[in-house]
Structure formats: C-alpha cells, structure tokens
Amino acid sequence: MEQSRYQAEPLHRSIDEDKERGKFYVEYRRGIEERKTRLKAAKEREDAALAAIRAEWAAKRKEIERMGIAKKNRRNLLTLARKHEAEAIALLAAQPEREAVRRDIPFTSWNGFLQHRAEQGNETALAILRSRKEPVAEEQELADSDSHAKDWSQHGREQFIRNAALKADFVARERAALETEGISGKAKTRLLAVLRMERISAEGGGQPERETMLAGFRHSVDHKGAVVFTLPGGGVIRDQGKELFFSARDEAAQAVALLYARKKWGKSIHIDGNRVFREPEREREKERGKER
C-alpha cells in the first residue's frame, strides 16, 4: 500500500504536458527514495546502538549481582547502573539522526513537495498547486521507516527533541547526585526527589496548565524525613519514600502527584483516596495472569 502511494501519479492534471512539471516529479521521486533509504539506515544504526547499550549494562548488572558485598551496597550499585543506562539511552534519543533526514527532506507526498518548493519561492511549484480543476482529498503522508513514526507537525517534532534533551540532562543530574561523595543517603534521596519535581516542571513547557500548577513550587523536609512539596495553588504533596500523599480534593495536587509517582515508579502505580503507591509485584503478576 505504501509503495503504491509513493508511485501514485501527481493529482494535478491541468499541466501534464509541461516539461517543468515532469522535472519536478522526477525530483520529488528522487527525494522520496533518498528519504526512505536514509531513514531506514538511521533506524538500523539507532537500533544497534540501543541494543549495545542495553547489553552492556545488563552485563554490568549481572557482574554487580555476583559481588560479595552487603545488600545495601549492591542495591545502590544497581540503582547507579540503571541511571547510567538510562542516561546513555536518553542521550541517544536526544540526538536522533532521523530528525536530520526529516529536516533535509521535509516532504512525504507530492502535495507536500510542491508546497515545500513553493515556500522556497519557486513559481512553477506554485502554479502547479493552483492548477487543480477540482478539489481532491489531501494525500496521506507516508509513515517513515520508523517503528515510532508519527504524523507530527514541526512543533511536535521540536517538542519531542526538547523533551529528549531534558530527559538526558535530568538523568545525568540524577546519576551525578547518586555518585556524589560526602553526603548521606537521606540527602541524596531528598536531592533526587527535588530533581524529579524540577523535571516535571521543565517538561511542562508549552502546557500552560502544568506550568501554572508547578511554577515556583517549594520543598522542605519534615521531622519524619518526608520530602514535602508545596504547589503555587497551596496544594501539598508528601513523598514518604514508599508512598505519596497529596492534598485531598485538590485536583492540581492529585495531577502533579500522579506525574511525580510515574517518574518515580513507572506505570505500575495505584491510587487510594489521596494516597499513591507502587503496585506490589504480586498484584501486577495477578493482573497479567487475568489478561492472559
């Protein structure tokens, strides 16, 4: 289906005999083929690099597991190894070779090619665009040779790259915090919690609602060691280590608490009233068993 869409004849028939139009179509086809080839090669290189990163850190974690050291030290080393792996993966995602291809060849359809050339000031492309005698459905953009391809606007692509760069930066800061010597484990835990909330705030760029919820949040530590975040609207989130609490009946606090919990524990979280906690492994296995 995709190949047939690539090979479909141009939809603008009024100037079929025009030599310039023929030259344009040859240029369009050449660009499409180059785009496909370069994207496929870039994806293969990225997949190979990702597999190498995962294999390297899986081997290092196995090596740590075999060490004859205290459980606490082993756990800390494993956490640090996971941060190193996450940082390497984030850096890979923050510098996608495929984005360079999309910038070089930004069109995926004949219509898109003509618009691109017209925007560059080419009058022939503009004339072809204006030559349609009847309205036609906009040609569907072809998916790139990319398992994660999306029909993104330029803004969407920029946001993806921005978030990937932010992730790489914050993962590096988290890893550096864990490696810092001379501070206690509790101090590192507090620092990681604050970095986590700062990351949520930074990733809210372009989302006014999230920016409003988090801009200027404050943090403190109570007498029990819980990290307490106070939001601009007055809502409070308490990170007590194995569970979070947020201000009851405060929608902003609940929304931020869930974002924070996902950053801390991933998708396996559960909410009970105004308490959020990591779903126990036994419960996750039970749910997976039901799905099967």
CA dihedral 182, 223, 246, 261 (to 10 degrees): 20
Task: Give the residue from 56, 75, 55, 53 showing the smallest Cα distance to 64.
Answer: 75
Q: Give the model's confidence band at 272: pLDDT under 50 very low, under 70 low, under 90 confident, else very high.
A: very high
Q: What is the pLDDT of residues 102-131, one digit of tens each?
A: 888 888 888 888 888 888 888 878 887 777
pLDDT at 155 over 50: no
How many C-beta atoms surround the C-beta of residue 160 within 10 A?
A: 17
Query: What is the per-residue pLDDT across 43-60, written as a single tens digit (0 to 9) for each?
Result: 899 899 999 999 999 999
For the chain, domain boundaries: 1-143+150-179, 183-292
**Which residues lie below 8 Å from residue 138, measured CB to CB, with a gap of 6+?**
111
DSSP notation for 67-78: S-S-HHHHHHHH
Element (H, E) at 9: none
The full DSSP string for 225-276 is S-EEEE-TTS-EEEE-SSEEEE-TT-HHHHHHHHHHHHHHH-S-EEEETTEE
Residue 4 banded pLDDT, cuts 50, 70, 90: very low
Spatial contact of 236 and 253, defined as CB atoms under 8 Å apart? yes
Burial degree of 197 (CB within 10 A; 0-12, 13-18, 19+): buried
Main-chain dihedrals φ then ψ at residue 119, nearest 5 degrees = -65, -25
Instruction: Give how far Cα 202 sits from Cα of 68, 207, 231, 270, Å.
Output: 40, 10, 15, 25
User: Alpha helices of the chain — where are they, by DSSP H?
Assistant: 2-7, 19-65, 71-94, 97-104, 110-119, 123-130, 154-179, 185-202, 208-214, 251-265, 281-291
Half-sphere exposure of 224 (CA within 13 A, CB side): 6
| pLDDT value of position 18 | 56
Q: pTM of the full predicted structure? A: 0.52
User: Within its chain, how far is the Cα of 256 from the centroid?
Assistant: 18
Confidence of residue 238 (pLDDT cuts 50, 70, 90): very high
Q: Distance between CA atoms of 76 and 67, rounded to whole angstroms?
A: 13
What distance in Å separates the CA atoms of residue 215 and residue 226, rounded to the nearest whole number? Answer: 21
